[in-house]
Amino acid sequence: MKLTKQITGLYVALTLLIGAVACNSNTNSVQSPDGTISFSVTIKEGKNAVYSVKADKKEILKPSELGFVIAGADTVTKFNLLSVETDSFDETWETVWGESRFVRNNYNEMLLNMQQYNGDLKLNLRVRVFDDGVAFRYEFPTQDVDSLVIMEELTTFNFADNHNAWYLPAADPYYEDHFYKKSIAELDTVRTPLTIEGLNGKYFAIHEAQLVDYPKMDLYGVGTNELKAQLVKWSSGEAAFIATPFVTPWRTMIIADRVGDLITSNLMLNLNEPCAIDDTSWIKPMKYIGIWWEMHLFYTTWYAGPRHGATTKRMKEYIDFAADNGIPGVLAEGWNIGWEGDWPRNQHFDFTKPYPDFNIKEITDYAKSKGIEVIGHHETAAWTTNYENQLDAAYDFYKSYGIDNVKTGYVNILMDGKERHDSQYGVRHYRKVVETAAKHGITIDNHEPVMPTGWQRTYPNLMTQEGIRGQEHDAWDLDGGNPPQFTTVAPFVRGLAGPMDFTFGTFNFDNPNSPHARVQTTIAKQLALYVVIYSPLQMASDLPENYRGNKAFDFIKDVPVDWDTTQVVDAVIGDYVVTARKDRNSDDWYVGAITDENAREYSLKLDFLAPDATYVAQIYADGDDADWVSNPTSFKYEEVQVTSNDTLQLKLATGGGTAIRFAKQ
């Protein structure tokens, strides 16, 4: 069965050859299907080619630059236009898992076939305009030169106003930083997704799609409204080695009227290739627990010894808890030889040698007898050659014990001591891992990734990724952990790049080993995050002993990880988020509402529920005396019968939230 099924198949090919002529002055435009967004490219003889974007007839991007610095070909920014082709496309496809079951992919396309002005290089620009944004990519067609070295990409985004942007600085190699807000003119070098709150009331998000054999694009500011692309380089200084024909990743900009529409946009997924896996029945979204948080709290260790975490006995306890509570997966970290000493220096992690006190056969047999999936772990310490040399053997080893899901990790500043995670080298490695895993029937939860760009459409075995300052920072970070505001920003910035393995679920907020750090939420907010932050693998990260007997755990047991529909009911980035999602496998709806450090009340209209139906709202709310600093565990549970005509009054404590299951009667 294919992931991507064409549900409504309207494919209109309007290929129109406008003319195989070199034009002296020429502006070509393409509009979104609803006519509200337009993308224009102007090519004038001897001048830099530029593009611009309008929405609702207003200028969004002023003339912005295109082109490259290519080794041996100087700066390639001036072109002759050879011909123009246009196309339209409209289909609805079904996701294997995701935030919505069906996705409409509807755009108008323009392809500009160009040749370097006063030069031989052929370079085409393919533009797609959707109702929710624009995308373009460069295409190097087959030509006399069969390999090229890209030194720089010269794409810019020249905004019409000096809007405010929510950004992740470009410093941290793992994208594990705080989010900040500044005007475009004040930005230094930042990551994408870059999320912009327009002075004109619109929202924009710049990112990329289908980054496959190319470096990541960061953006840097120059003190004006213009942002420039900056490709991550190889250690030798080049950006990308390419062989023609070649296409770059898509440069994308979502354009939204409501901030929530950034989250429900499927532009990035639509710009990736359809599913490459024929039978996807083995790919299962699920919740999991595991031997993990206890290491981050420094109770147990990854390495073998008196405090070793991943022992046969401890795994069986986790498996028992998972089986008793309907949690399908159990992760084991620190199960294999290699964790001794300063392990990021260890080039010799062995992915087929368990520690003696981790009896993999006994553990996996036991898990199987209880219907539980063991989730494996490959911490590579970013020694990618060592990992690639073992890839097939490592996956065969796990498969021989029935392990189908693997969490990977790349804790080290550089890959193989040399290259950046988001360089072309790194991107190639991650792609190889995902493709090899797919061949072996293995799913991947990738930590320390390159920023995601929608590969899960093509390879839905790539379930979720880190690339976020996840909850582990709340266990030990010297700055104390993520402040309450953090999760009210994350869905609108990093979240636009795809699922996040954030690993919430804390019920016990004391960590005697790192008293300086804390999960900075209430317990009800921990629950609400399962709805607000999307991932097809969601961890309940706390220890089983902290969940037993706590009513709040019922919400974690019930909440799905795969959705039929998603609606962002309301949000202000950095203040609060209210998200409603309908379960893919039942008629139930779920709501998560979270706030920053400010307590707030919210009137939740239930008009997203099916009309003419009755639901029991199972409400997990902050207790009257809850606050994240002094009373995070105070919560209350109540049930009320509701219909879509009702409104619920939510009271969120400081750093708090509300989680609701609407069980259809």
**In whole angstroms, how far apart are CA 519 and each of 331, 473, 504, 656?**
21, 9, 9, 12
**Closest approach of Cβ 407 to ligand NOJ, in Å?**
7
Instruction: Write phi, then psi, for 431 (nearest 5 degrees).
Output: -65, -40
User: Distance between CA atoms of 416 and 344, rounded to whole angstroms?
Assistant: 11
Q: Is 354 in the site for ligand NOJ (CB under 6 A)?
A: no
Q: Is 373 in the site for ligand NOJ (CB under 6 A)?
A: no
What are the tokens at 518?
A: 């804390």
**Closest approach of Cβ 54 to ligand NOJ, in Å?**
42
CB closer to ligand NOJ out of 446 and 579 = 446
Q: Is 447 in the site for ligand NOJ (CB under 6 A)?
A: yes
**Closest approach of Cβ 554 to ligand NOJ, in Å?**
26
Please count the residues of this chain forming the interface with ligand NOJ, following the rule CB under 6 A. 8
Positions annotated as catalytic residues are 472
Q: Name the β-bridge partners of 148.
A: 242
CB closer to ligand NOJ out of 114 and 291 = 291
Site string for ligand NOJ, 533-572 (x = CB under 6 A): ----------------------------------------
User: Distance between CA atoms of 68 and 154, rounded to whole angstroms?
Assistant: 5
**Closest approach of Cβ 502 to ligand NOJ, in Å?**
10
Paired sense of beta strands 600-605 and 647-652, if any? antiparallel
Site string for ligand NOJ, 168-207 (x = CB under 6 A): ----------------------------------------
Among 285, 409, 460, 655, binds ligand NOJ (CB under 6 A): 409
CB closer to ligand NOJ out of 285 and 309 = 309
Residue (of 267, 152, 279, 273) closest to 215 by Cα position: 152
CB closer to ligand NOJ out of 12 and 478 = 478
Q: Is 404 in the site for ligand NOJ (CB under 6 A)?
A: no
CB closer to ligand NOJ out of 449 and 495 = 449
DSSP string, 595-664: E-SS-EEEEEE-TTSPTT--EEEEEEEE-TT-BTTTBTT-EEEEEEEE-TT-EEEEEEPTT-EEEEEEEE
Q: Is 466 in the site for ligand NOJ (CB under 6 A)?
A: yes
User: Distance between CA atoms of 575 and 484, rounded to whole angstroms?
Assistant: 9
Angle subtended by helix axes 384-400 and 424-440, to nearest 10: 10
User: Distance between CA atoms of 603 and 154, rounded to whole angstroms?
Assistant: 47
Q: Is 445 in the site for ligand NOJ (CB under 6 A)?
A: no
**Closest approach of Cβ 448 to ligand NOJ, in Å?**
7
Paired sense of beta strands 122-130 and 133-140, if any? antiparallel
Other beta carbons within 10 angstroms of residue 388's beta carbon come to 15
Rule CB under 6 A: which of 282-301 touch ligand NOJ? 292
Burial (CB count <10 Å: 0-12, 13-18, 19+), residue 257: middle
Site string for ligand NOJ, 468-497 (x = CB under 6 A): ----x-------------------------
Q: Is 338 in the site for ligand NOJ (CB under 6 A)?
A: no
Q: Is 337 in the site for ligand NOJ (CB under 6 A)?
A: no
CB closer to ligand NOJ out of 102 and 343 = 343
User: Distance between CA atoms of 57 and 195, rounded to whole angstroms?
Assistant: 22
Other beta carbons within 10 angstroms of residue 253's beta carbon come to 23
Other beta carbons within 10 angstroms of residue 301's beta carbon come to 17
The residues, ordered by sequence, that sit 6+ positions from 342 with a Cβ below 8 Å of its Cβ are none
**Closest approach of Cβ 458 to ligand NOJ, in Å?**
24
Residue 275 DSSP class: P
Among 71, 337, 411, 629, binds ligand NOJ (CB under 6 A): 411
Q: Name the β-bridge partners of 207.
A: 252
CB closer to ligand NOJ out of 409 and 426 = 409
Return residues touching ligand NOJ (CB under 6 A). Answer: 292, 333, 379, 409, 411, 447, 466, 472
